[in-house]
Amino acid sequence: MRAGIAILAAVATMLASCAGGGNPAPSPRTGARPAASAPRSSIVVVPEVMSPQGLGGVIGARADTLTRRFGPPRIDLAEGDARKLQFAGPTCVLDIFLYPVAAAAELTATHVEARLRQGGAAADPGACIREVERR
């Protein structure tokens, strides 16, 4: 009888350890779930890189270069192999998207979008870069 209980206990322990791969528990203080880091893939779909003309040296820059230039991002969001940094100036919001351009390559800025803070209409990315840089 004791051997049967020991076997059941071992099986229950193994099953419990297998069940842990779900969503992380929310923080008891904030209710937010911690971000799970996604594994880096060896398969890369090379993104289309925007032309750097008029974008003030942003295209091709790494995240550390961008944060030194613009300060801490308002939003720093990672999803799979991509990353989005968001910076804001007095009148515009600047989204910079970073992707690897080759397998195992460091993420670099490949796309920029800018919009007005009021109303969300598209804004000139070059002007928004200069505005965010001045703040």
pLDDT at position 30 is 45
Model confidence at 25, pLDDT cuts 50, 70, 90, reads low
Give 51-67 pLDDT, tens digit per residue: 667 787 899 999 999 99
pLDDT at position 104 is 78
Instruction: Say which amino acid occupies 54.
Output: G
Whole-number percent of the chain with pLDDT over 70: 61
Give 65-117 pLDDT, tens digit per residue: 999 999 999 999 999 889 999 999 999 999 999 999 888 789 999 999 999 99
Cβ(112)–Cβ(56) below 8 Å: no
Tell me, rounded to whole angstroms, the distance of Cα 132 from its chain centroid. 20
Q: What are phi and psi of 31, to 5 degrees?
A: 80, -5
Beta strand pairing status for 92-99 and 82-88? antiparallel
pLDDT at position 44 is 56
In the three-class reduction of DSSP (H, G, I as helix; E, B as strand; rest coil), residue 16 is classed as helix
